Chains A and B, each alone.
Chain A
Amino acid sequence: MKAGDLGELALRNLREAVLRNSLTTLGVAVGVASLVAMLSLGVGLQNLATKRLSNSGLFDTVIVTQRRNSEGVRRVVNPPPEKEPRVLDEEARKELERLPNVVEVYPQIRFPTEVRYNGIPYSTIVAGVPASAQTTGAFDGIQGHFFSGPNADEAILQIELAKDLSPQTATLLGKDLVVRYAEREALPPQSGEGEAAGDGGGNDAGGGGFSIVPREKKLRIVGIVETEPAAGFGGFGSGRLLIPLEVASALRAAQVNDLRDAVRETNGKPVYASLTVRAKSPTHVEGIETAIKAMGFGTFSLLDATRNLQLFFTIFDLLLAIFGSLALAVATLGIINTLVMAILERRREIGILKALGAADRDVKQLFFVEAGVMGLLGGIFGVGFGWFIGRALTWGTNIYLHRQNLPSAHVFSVPLWLVFGAIVFAVAVSLAAGLYPASRAARLNPVEALRYE
């Protein structure tokens, strides 16, 4: 029989027992909805975690250190160096910036400070924030706005610090505060070599050491962030008062590692304790790390953690899919039951079809198409139900999150592959369910079937 005729007859048969077939289709739809809901939840949570972690900069960041300076991050056991290890200076920073798939390279600047607001002092940590942080999502949900420019004398407060300054945090926006900090001031070289070069975050102690001079800087509060934004491990995560990186560099504030570097041989050039290299995406981290190691620097990234995370979500999705498929398995039994009932009811009809020239193949295909149509419709409606369940879950979750003073989150995601995958899966499962009834119908003896009343 031609495909068109097969389809017409199958649809006609389905319409004849519309209630039973609708209920069976509904069963498939519920099964698919359950599967879609579960998998969408898995995908949504994975997306959410990936986005949050990506925003945190944990997985697209490589920390670069001078090899002998790697303690505290990861101890690199190297053979005794044959030559002087490479210095992590401005030249090296620019070289790192030229590596493929590197978005930016910046030093980490973080220093203790005393903030004065309305004349009252507060101790906190200042962290320099690169301009690129604005686009990574780290400052999503900011109250106010990001820095107006890379050299703006502006500050963004972490909510805890903002609450310390004023219970009505919103009133802080546009107000000024004063930052008191310890500036490194280079001393003249003792042996007449190594002119101090005042380059930002680098150690500009030169060959003659430095002195500490208290300074003040007035900054305007332009934003308050609810969560603690980060830019990779060891980034500006622990800073409560965030200022533009360029401004932080220009302050030449004394940092923790300055005392150590004061006694280190740097040939008078400014050197960085470490640099943060941001990759275009976490997938490029491995290649970048290899390239940096080849340059003679020590590196550290959370690549392994990323892999573990992917493994976790793969297993998580698999488990959700299994649980989601249970309902579909029950629906499959419904299809088998419906089609077996249809064989009993249409026994005589099958006999007539065979007497009129239907081949076993025609009868089998007819039942297959009926099962497939139920699967297709069930799949389409199921995806719709699943999407609806997801919307309801997201809605409910966000109400809960708002009550907990947490930002909204999309815990549910129905990607296109899931839509088509679920429909194809529903049809495949339905066809599999139709296998036994279709074979049984095809095997019916026409003489016996015609005798059936």
Chain B
Amino acid sequence: MVTGNRAAVRAEHVSRHYEMGSALIQAVDDVTLEVGAGEFLALLGSSGSGKSTLLNLMAGLDHPTGGAILANGKNLSEMSPLELARYRSRTVGMVFQSFNLLPRMTLEENVELPLRLAEVDRGERGKRVQEALERVQLERRLTHRPNEMSGGEQQRAALARALVNRPTLLFADEPTGNLDSATGESIMQLLKEIQKTLGMTIVMVTHERPLADRFADRIAALADGKLVTDGVKS
């Protein structure tokens, strides 16, 4: 189902199969899905349903074994490794369940890291980091390391890191999975606010239906690698 907006990312008959010994694992099996620009899509499914694999394929972290992922009309499979890296750096922001902040870096350094990778000028970086941290209300924790922050703060920091390069696509893989419900709720509100204020396209993987119902514009459900429902909100 398409929202009517121009498609930000589209999966066309996408499959991702793994060979494990003699067994063939069909993590994603012939999924066709389109996410409109500025849309908040929740990918719902139980563990092993293939939702994270689909997210990784759309984020350019993995390659489909069949079909195509099109981001802003460009087929990710046809991109060179360098172009794909640029896509991940400048078009995509990622948030993970386990935050994935670098423990030996301060909050400021963690958020600055994508700017280094995108070769943003040093003079510009401070302003961007400050802007991103203000958005997640962590501007006073610049020098703190991840182990000095709570889970919620770490996820907000990860969100700031995902936003610092001003991407158009935000992929969140179970962003509330390691958080208590109250903190998870605040993170979801933050994501919603970001979608509204920045007009970002958000694709969030979750297995929590209530959160998806409350915050996503659209829900696509996967089971055993297949898209079983698209657009249904309870």
Contact = CB atoms under 8 A, between A and B. Distances in A.
A359 interface: yes
A5 interface: yes
B102 interface: yes
Nearest to B109: A12
A450 B100 contact: yes
A2 B116 contact: yes
Contacts of A2: 116, 119
B138 to A, nearest CB: 18
A1 B116 contact: yes
Contacts of A356: 88-89, 94, 113-114, 117, 161
B158 to A, nearest CB: 10
A84 to B, nearest CB: 86
A362 B85 CA distance: 10
Nearest to A360: B81
Given A12-B104, A353-B117, A359 B61 contact: no
Nearest to A449: B61
A312 to B, nearest CB: 54
B61 A357 contact: no
Contacts of A361: 82
Contacts of A447: 56, 61-62
A256 B177 CA distance: 109
A450 to B, nearest CB: 7
A5 to B, nearest CB: 4
B165 A357 contact: yes
A354 B119 contact: no
**A1, A353, A357, A447 — which one has the most chain B CB atoms within 10 A of its CB?**
A357
**B82, B86, B117, B118 — which one has the most chain A CB atoms within 10 A of its CB?**
B117
B104 A357 contact: no
Contact of A357 (B62, B96, B102, B117): B117
Contact of B117 (A348, A362, A445, A446): A362
B90 interface: yes
B100 A348 contact: yes
A358 B86 CA distance: 8
A359 B104 contact: no
A355 interface: yes
B111 to A, nearest CB: 11
Contacts, number: 66
A358 B119 CA distance: 10
B102 A349 contact: yes
Contact of A360 (B85, B86, B117, B118): B85
B123 to A, nearest CB: 13
A447 to B, nearest CB: 5
B155 to A, nearest CB: 15
A359 B39 CA distance: 28
Given A1-B117, A2-B116, A352-B102, A358 B61 contact: no
A356 B161 CA distance: 9
A352 B86 CA distance: 15
Contacts of A401: none
A361 B165 CA distance: 20
Contacts of B105: 12
Nearest to A362: B117
A357 B118 contact: yes
Interface in A161-192: none
B128 to A, nearest CB: 14
A446 B94 CA distance: 13
Contacts of B89: 356-358
Contacts of A357: 85-86, 88-90, 92, 114, 117-118, 165
Contacts of B62: 445-447
B59 interface: yes
A82 interface: no
A349 B98 CA distance: 13
B202 to A, nearest CB: 16
B55 to A, nearest CB: 10
Interface in A1-31: 1-2, 4-5, 9, 12, 16
Nearest to B100: A352
Interface string B110-134: 0001101111001000000000000
Contacts of A352: 100, 102
B116 A359 contact: no
A355 B90 contact: no
Nearest to A16: B104
A359 B100 contact: no
B116 A5 contact: yes
Interface string B63-95: 000000000000000000110011011101010
A361 B117 CA distance: 11
Contacts of B119: 1-2, 5
B113 A359 contact: no
A282 B199 CA distance: 83
A412 B196 CA distance: 75
B94 A355 contact: yes
Nearest to A446: B61
11 contacts: A353-B113, A354-B88, A355-B100, A356-B113, A356-B117, A357-B117, A359-B86, A361-B82, A446-B62, A447-B56, A450-B100
Given A354-B61, A357-B85, 13 more contacts: A1-B116, A9-B116, A353-B113, A355-B88, A355-B96, A356-B117, A357-B88, A358-B117, A359-B81, A361-B82, A447-B56, A447-B62, A450-B96
Interface of B: 56, 59, 61-62, 81-82, 85-86, 88-90, 92, 94, 96, 100, 102, 104-105, 113-114, 116-119, 122, 161, 165
Across chains A and B, which 10 residue pairs bring their CB atoms closest together, nearest first? A357-B89, A359-B85, A5-B116, A357-B117, A357-B88, A356-B114, A446-B61, A352-B100, A447-B62, A358-B117
